[in-house]
Amino acid sequence: MTEKPPTTRNTILITGGTSGLGAASARAIAEIHPASRIYLAGRNSAAAATLIAEIQDATTSEKDTPEIVFLPLDLTSLPSVRAAAQHLLASETHLDVLLANAGIAAVPPGSRTTAGHEVHLGTNHVGHALLIRLLVPLLQAAPDGGRVVSVTSFAFRFALWGVPLSDDAGGWGSGRLVDWMMVWRWLRYAESKLANVLYARELARKYPGVVSVSVCPGFVETEMVKGMRFCDRIGTRLMGWVEGGMVSPEVGARNQVWAATVGRDGLRNGAVYEPVGREMKELGGPAMDGKLGERLWEWTEKEIEEFL
């Protein structure tokens, strides 16, 4: 077995790191901490290669150049998640930051992950949960204490019925034949974002040595939004206008970059932050439901136990 190399750099993992908010975060973090090893986890190796060259060419530090590495990761496949985690466990001595940024939205009914989970909950929550659990040893080994930054959304406030956990992990409304007026697909997205908030808080409770927070980026004009169906795109932009307007990925990434780079004392374990760095106090009933958080943790452990 190859001996792990000594690591003196900050080690950072960004899921969904090849485009949108993830790519913007990688650029900003590389500028703030040029002496870093940044893993861009995702499915698009060509986009990763382009971004890596861009970041390295743009580095302004005369002394340090960030090391950017592409890490294949498909959050809809739990074997892929485990393979990515095993690569890190074999390559690194610690992990300073896990930025759980990747996510999907507004996928039509019937879509599932390879494990059979409804695709929003499976991608946005279950895949990330497995990755986090497998990498806890590296996070605990970080010299200054590792941190997990989970990217949620203001949409979690609309999951008024919590996170439904059924035997098939379908979520509320997954069996509907008609996605009437976008309601079901956006509600499933909201439920998955509520799961991010609840799981981050439970992680903070169960592993207090690892800082775990969730952050809202605001309404961001990403390629994912541009690629949505017309009604979903217009609805998203309308909600963004109500909340103060859509922002670019560079602006949207500021909150998660702040959470990934601010001093440890600047974060309250388990908290939710809105742009930029403001703790959200009024979260709504389900987001404050400790029992729901416990049930979600227990259900998630059962769903991923085969891969731990």
Report, as residue numbers or ranges, the catalytic residues.
189
In sequence order, what are the residues at sequence separation of 6 or more whose Cβ sits closer than 8 angstroms to the Cβ of residue 292?
162, 163, 198, 286
Query: Which two structure tokens, joined as six digits, stand for 287?
Result: 């987001």
Residue 158 CA to residue 168 CA, distance in Å, equals 23
Beta-carbon contacts of 61 under 8 Å, excluding residues fewer than 6 positions away, are 34, 35
- The residue type of 164 is P
DSSP structural state of residue 4: P
DSSP 10-57: EEEEEETTTSHHHHHHHHHHHHH-SSEEEEEEES-HHHHHHHHHHHHH
